[in-house]
Amino acid sequence: MIGLTKIGHVLLRVADLERSKAFYRDVLGFKIAEQDPEHGRDVFMTLGEDFHTIDLVQHQHPDSAERPTNTQIGLVHIAFQVGNYEALKDAYATLLKHGVTIDRAIDHVSQRSLYFADPDGNRLEIYYERPGSLQLFGDGSRGDRDYQLAVNGPGEPLPGWLSEPWPVAN
């Protein structure tokens, strides 16, 4: 066994470096750790303690590049965890405020998740994981207990499930 401790960072090739930098900074709250013209114009962005969480690299031929699809083999989405349920509600409101379409919201029993896309169509998830979630599935099998949650659009009130206390004590 290698002994990995966490995912270090994601390297993301983008069609428009400035547009993606603005999205990850202004919508998702990343901070720019470094943008070095001598280092290929890459943008190294962080969510906190580590030097970089996501690196943005300008695609050399974005007009002819293939975009992500639901049918390709490879990465399905990148997930970002928030620290409490109120932060998930804030994330939902922030996404709508910035005109980001929330494609779906799911109650996975162990967590509640929002799914959406970045400007290049890369699938993203923001989720809150309930405390003790590992113990919910002691046999190692989560089972198929996902529940679709209502999704509202810009200008509409937030869905009611965001105002409910969650998780509910059993």
As annotated, the active-site residues are: 125
Report the C-alpha gap between 61 and 121 in whole angstroms: 16
Q: Answer positive or negative: Cα dihedral of 86, 125, 98, 151.
A: negative
Assess whether the previous peptide bond of 167 is cis (omega < 30° from 0).
Answer: yes
Pairing mode, strands 111-117 and 102-107? antiparallel
Count Cα neighbours of 98 within 13 Å in the Cβ-side half-sphere. Answer: 19
Two tokens at 119?
């400007």
